Structure 1
């Protein structure tokens, strides 16, 4: 894996993030697996860790087929969405006929990964066996991305669980990840390492909250004519995920 494979585009620029490298390595593990080994991989972790961003990057880098499962999907809309990603315009037909077409097309390119984001919803709606059917008949590498509980949820589906070759957990952003994001999201502004570490800790290492905070920091610096920002002069917000509460007179909530 080259250095470029460990990076993710952010607002038109590129920032290296640990979870991107983790997902790319998982995909490579599945693609290069020995004959007879299972070909499913699971990439799970808390919301906001940057899993979907990593998936989008991996799609662009590897040419993977990528779908993000929606809350309202049925078995039919799952098949339609997957066929649409495979190039079909307004796919129609029975579920069986659409599954046959999905299998035919994926089977024609067995090295092309299939990335399914929000795979928890397939488990919850009783559709995860469709993924197993696709895998069994095509042998394409399939990556299931979901929340922290996805591995536990899959335990109830033994035939799927047994076909997972590798399990990887998305990690909260490290200080190095936070510094990389700051270089991209705070152009022309020097952000003190101590402040970045505070941001990382207070956001729980969630990439989405860190990015939102760094955007706020950039606006704060520009509005105040600052070229460098540190814990002493930063008076902007840090997005911790807590719901803001209006303070009443006398300090009572």
Structure 2
């Protein structure tokens, strides 16, 4: 099966939102909040934008202290030159600001819902000093985190929700990734069983491809799908 990234409505809205804050003047820039359940394509969209159009990308680790977080941000903003910085939190933040003032670029923070609110305040400081766009990517819990501080909410310029994968997107992905022809009603069954989780859809398509090769037919019917569904529970929780 080929690794492909299909265009989705959520990805298009995400790209438009990030473009808007990137192209805005320093004073008109802000935060972009990309949110949704796990497996909805948030990280894929952010990683794709970052790869194609640039920026600094930080994936949050659980339990990061202020120093550890800002050292990682500095490492990514600097362009991964040399070893991970060992400077203090304040020194790291100052260096981040100095670099971004010279080279304004978006800062992507993935799994931002794992951050303490104080780390979001660090990002607000960086945004205030440089005007760089901050793109926060996380699950729905990020709303509870950000609601603690009105001064952060006021800087959210765009909210982009990543909802469940649609039957049409299932069909497109199956064709592009595995050459499978799946009727609309069976695509709807896949989307429903996966509860909109793209990762589960990918795993289903992988098994369907193997079944199709064995049957020497890439036209998926209900019986083939029944076989795949019975292979495991396919529960998200």
Find the residue that maps to 2:129 and give its secondary structure: helix
Q: How does 1:134-145 map to 2 (within 5 A)?
A: 134-145=126-137
Find the residue that maps to 1:92 and give its secondary structure: coil
Deviations 1:25-46 (A, max 9, x none): 1101212336643511111111
Find the residue that maps to 1:201 and give its secondary structure: helix
Are 2:120 and 1:128 aligned?
Answer: yes
Deviations 1:143-171 (A, max 9, x none): 11111131232010222111111112111
Higher fraction of strand: 1
Higher fraction of helix: 2
CA distance in 2, matches of 1:153, 1:232: 46
Deviations 1:175-200 (A, max 9, x none): 2221221122222x322222111101
**Unpaired runs of at least 5, structure 1:** 1-9, 244-253
1:21 deviation in Å? 1.0
Are 2:216 and 1:228 aligned?
Answer: no
- State the match for 1:174 in structure 2: 166
* 2:24 maps to which of 14, 30, 33: 33
Calculate the aligned-residue CA RMSD, in Å: 2.0
Are 2:60 and 1:69 aligned?
Answer: yes
After superposition, the Cα gap between the structure-2 partners of 1:44 and 1:97, relative to the gap in structure 1 and judged at 3 Å, is same
**Unpaired runs of at least 5, structure 2:** none
CA distance in 2, matches of 1:160, 1:82: 19
After superposition, the Cα gap between the structure-2 partners of 1:132 and 1:242, relative to the gap in structure 1 and judged at 3 Å, is closer
Q: Does structure 2 retain, via aligned residues, the 8 Å contact 1:40–1:166? A: yes
Q: TM-score, normalising length from structure 1?
A: 0.84
